[in-house]
Amino acid sequence: MSSTKEFTYAEVAEHSAKKDLYLVIHDKVYNTTAFVDEHPGGEEVLLDVGGQDATEAFEDVGHSDEAREILEGLLVGSLKRKEGDPKPKIATVPSSTTSSSNSTGLGIGLYAIILIGAGLAFGAYKYMQSQEGKA
């Protein structure tokens, strides 16, 4: 399909049903109607952002290159923003790399806290046993 057609935000908002579903991602308009039943995350994920700017939701998940290729096949046009339209929440694409490194750091920190907590609990348990033996 041609990607030269321009849609207003109001026009995109009219396509929010399962059998007629458009999404806006990075100011491009995609007809995801045929993909609703195939979406690995379930249809609810798409229906929640149907007829809206789904850029933030799309980037937060960290979609694969394959998912981005599928998305390109669903392109039907671009968004023509007018005054009063909601502003885009994410202006650039490469935000997924920073979120993955942050979540890795949190995972290691959480693991360390759990290990330290387990060590302290074991030490307290041994101390309590030694105190019972003296009494």
pLDDT in tens, 65-93: 898 999 999 999 998 888 777 776 654 44
Statement to judge: residues 75 and 102 lie in one domain: no
Quickly tell me which residue has 């039907």 as its tokens: 76
Does 114 lie in the same domain as 76? Answer: no
Residue 14 is part of a domain; what is its CATH number?
3.10.120.10
Domain span at residue 127 reads: 95-135
Is the separation of the CB atoms in 12 and 51 below 8 Å?
Answer: yes
Which pLDDT value is given to residue 119? 94
**pTM (2 decimals)?**
0.61
Residues 75 and 101 in one domain: no
CB atoms within 10 A of CB 59: 19
- 33 lies in a domain? yes
**Beta partners for residue 17, in sequence order:** 20
Question: Is 87 contained in some domain?
Answer: no
> 28 and 53 in one domain?
yes
